[in-house]
């Protein structure tokens, strides 16, 4: 490869090393992000398990009260959730008829 080609197509060896240019720095950041996401997922799973156990103990009445309370306090997200669930159920029922 001559000098003109090297200028037109710089390769990895043409770049100077800088701390921000390190792939281990990038992979370390990705690793931390994955670790954080994993921790958040584990927290969500644990909270969900606690809620399911609570609803199992308290029964249907508690679930219906909580849903009604959430719907009154957050009407737009509740409507979007209901619409999304309706679309999924409709798609599943439509696939069953084919």
At 11 the pLDDT is 53
DSSP 16: P
Look at residues 46, 84, 5 and name the one whose alpha carbon lies nearest to residue 54: 46
The domain ranges of the chain are: 23-96
pLDDT digits (tens, 9 = 90+) for 44-93: 888 888 888 887 888 888 888 888 999 999 999 999 999 999 999 999 99
pLDDT for residue 4 is more than 70:
no
> Phi, psi (5° rounding) for residue 15?
-85, 145
Cβ atoms within 10 A of the Cβ of 78, count? Answer: 15
Query: Does an H or E element contain 87, and which?
Result: helix 75-96
pLDDT for residue 94 is more than 80:
yes
Whether the pTM exceeds 0.75: the reply is no
């Amino acid at each position: 490869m001559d000098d003109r080609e090297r200028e037109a197509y710089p390769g990895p060896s043409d770049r100077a090393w800088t701390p921000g240019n390190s792939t281990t720095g990038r992979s370390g950041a990705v690793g931390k992000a994955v670790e954080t996401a994993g921790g958040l997922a584990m927290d969500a799973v644990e909270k969900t398990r606690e809620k399911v156990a609570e609803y199992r103990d308290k029964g249907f009445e508690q679930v219906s009260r909580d849903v009604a309370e959430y719907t009154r306090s957050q009407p737009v997200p509740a409507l979007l959730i209901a619409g999304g669930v309706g679309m999924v159920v409709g798609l599943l029922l439509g696939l069953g008829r084919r």
